Amino acid sequence: MIFVITGPVCSGKTTIGKQLSTEMGIPFETIDTFVRKAYEVETVKTMLALQYGVSDLVGVKTLDLTNQNIINFLEYLTYPYVQESVNEFVKSSKNVILEIPLYEAHGKLVEHFEHKRIDIIIDSTIHIYRLYSRYDFHEAFNALSRYNKRKEQAINKNTCIQPCDYVINVVNNDIDQKQAYHAKYLEKWLE
């Protein structure tokens, strides 16, 4: 079984994923790890250099990531490598936890596997606090804007819209409190 954890930037997806992994004794990974790996592939580096004059993930972050044409090109370029990494990870264990930040756009990476979607819902005050703790004002605003724009675009295309199977509601800044409870509930889906 694949447990897919999804939610907005700075909602605690990675922390919750790692804690559930420890509680349940199953592997955890993030899509971000696979994306970074894809940007290390020589073909990807060459195509980036030809198209945008950048050759790594640091250079990609300087591009206008609100431009849908750029996003489409980057996904076209990296998707096969990310999909290959996801497939390898999923096949590595009977049960896994995979963090996918924007399910509406990236759920297609797991749509051909049986999976359970876990949504992280976060209190808006805590979310803003976390964003500004991690980023400066402009970076925080841009990160949230990019997330909301991508989610809206994906929803408008009606792609990968699947109701979630479980919700973890983060209502205070201490997300450690209920992981054993969540793990116990999710264990009913283990294979």
Let me know if residue 43 belongs to a domain. Answer: yes
CB 5 within 8 A of CB 116: no
- Looking at residue 112, its amino acid is H
Show the tokens assigned to 8.
Answer: 């907005």
Name the residue range of residue 47's domain.
Answer: 2-186
- Looking at residue 172, its amino acid is N
Q: What is the pLDDT of residues 34-54, one digit of tens each?
A: 999 999 999 999 999 999 999
Indicate the number of domains in the chain: 1
Cα–Cα dist 10/130, whole Å: 6
Whether 85 has a pLDDT exceeding 60, the answer reads yes
Let me know if residue 19 belongs to a domain. Answer: yes
Q: What is the pLDDT of residues 143-160, one digit of tens each?
A: 777 667 666 655 555 554
CA distances from 123 to 78, 79, 130, 147, 163 (A): 33, 32, 11, 16, 20
Let me know if residue 60 belongs to a domain. Answer: yes
Helix, strand, coil abundance in the chain, percent, nearest 5: 55, 15, 30
Phi and psi at 166, nearest 5°, equal -160, 145
The domain that holds 150 is classified in CATH as 3.40.50.300
Task: For the full predicted model, state whether its pTM sits above 0.85.
Answer: no
